[in-house]
Amino acid sequence: KNYVNGVLKESDMILNASATINLKLPEGGSNNAVLVKNLYLSCDPYMRTRMTKLEDSYFEAFAPGSPIAGYGVAKVLDSRHPKFKKGDLVWGVTGWEEYSIISPPKILFKIQHTDMPLSYYTGILGMPGMAAYVGFYEICAPKIGECVFVSAAAGAVGQLIGQFAKLSGCYVVGSASTKEKVDLLKNKLGFDEAFNYMEEQDMNEALKRYFPNGIDIYFDNVGGKMLEAVLPNMRTNGRISACGMISQYNNLKLQAEVACNLFLMVTKSLNMQGFMVNDYFHMYPKFMEIIMPLIKQGKICYIEDFAEGLENAPAALVGLFSGKNVGKQLVVVARE
């Protein structure tokens, strides 16, 4: 019933049972409403930032006590919206509940390719996939032979960055928090190298080991101390895609206190660009043209981490902040 303070805990979320379920939209409601049955829900780090009321935040804070809103995959049961009809499969912003009335559906897309696993639309074929595509290709403009580093490399976005980097002819190294993830990056996802950042005493030294000649592209998923360690290791004219800063989300006020060595941006002529994937959804059709053949031809490997049932959703979301997830974390509410 309150905004969240500090580290997100399972007990910050409660599961409510509703007595009646009406599988038709109620009479007299909005003309744009869509009633959906939720199938898969996406656990995304930014959701934590909506649990605290912040001034000048891009996202509106969740209203305490109301269902969490987030990306998911759903089936339309009833619709008064001209773009959706009963039976459609959709992905976009829905609620963390079994059934949701989405009114108006501001971010909701009809799934055109139902021959793909539907869960993919919470990840590789949805918002995180788009973020990887935009953040790597549009923002970093990779060139053959360049050296790429990606943090949170075994997560939803990170696993794709490593593979995009290899497809672009780059050398790529990823960091993650366990041996299991490091092995996965090297042996299954095709990274050239990977290391467990938790085991490194000196991050600067670790980066020098893997990038003796410096980093051309840093895909930043974590911010904080890792970003500080990366900056001195960037090459002149390097690019940093500021995709996310998960190390800060449990205490966003901390950001003001992190004294990043940003003067290096000047002396190394670096280009660091943040982006919000929602601003690039117009590129979704182009992205699908590129990603679908890569998946179908087996040129991209995609790893998912399923939590079964809404009752396990809080633990799944909390787990993102201690690296429990291997690959894309999502919640199965119903399979059809």
Site of interaction with ligand NDP (CB under 6 A): 44-46, 127-128, 131, 152, 154-158, 176-177, 181, 221-222, 243-247, 275-277, 320-321, 323, 325, 328-329
User: Minimum distance between the CB of residue 32 and ligand NDP, rounded to whole angstroms?
Assistant: 25
Residue with tokens 């800063």: 245
CA distance 250 to 273: 22
User: Minimum distance between the CB of residue 152 and ligand NDP, rounded to whole angstroms?
Assistant: 4
Q: DSSP secondary structure string, 150-193?
A: ESSTTBTTHHHHHHHHHHTT-EEEEEESSHHHHHHHHHTS--SE
- The CB density around residue 300, as the number of other CB atoms within 10 Å, is 21
Would you say 95 or 244 has its CB closer to ligand NDP? Answer: 244
Would you say 33 or 139 has its CB closer to ligand NDP? Answer: 139
Would you say 227 or 295 has its CB closer to ligand NDP? Answer: 227
User: Minimum distance between the CB of residue 262 and ligand NDP, rounded to whole angstroms?
Assistant: 19
Would you say 141 or 276 has its CB closer to ligand NDP? Answer: 276
CA distance 172 to 159: 11
Query: Quick check: helix, strand or coil at residue 195?
Result: strand
Would you say 42 or 79 has its CB closer to ligand NDP? Answer: 42
User: Minimum distance between the CB of residue 245 and ligand NDP, rounded to whole angstroms?
Assistant: 6
Would you say 50 or 75 has its CB closer to ligand NDP? Answer: 50
Residue nearest to ligand NDP (CB): 155
Query: In 10-24, which positions are buried (b, 16+ CB within 10 angstroms) versus exposed (e)?
Result: eebbeeeeeeeeeee
Q: DSSP secondary structure string, 206-238?
A: HHHHH-TT-EEEEEESS-HHHHHHHGGGEEEEE
CA distance 303 to 321: 18
CA distance 239 to 260: 16
User: Minimum distance between the CB of residue 302 and ligand NDP, rounded to whole angstroms?
Assistant: 12
User: Minimum distance between the CB of residue 290 and ligand NDP, rounded to whole angstroms?
Assistant: 18
Would you say 99 or 191 has its CB closer to ligand NDP? Answer: 191
Strand partners, 95: 69
Helical (H) or strand (E) element with 36: strand 34-42
- Contact indicator for 185, 195 with CB cutoff of 8 Å: no
Query: What tokens does 92 get?
Result: 């976009």
Would you say 99 or 195 has its CB closer to ligand NDP? Answer: 195
User: Minimum distance between the CB of residue 107 and ligand NDP, rounded to whole angstroms?
Assistant: 12
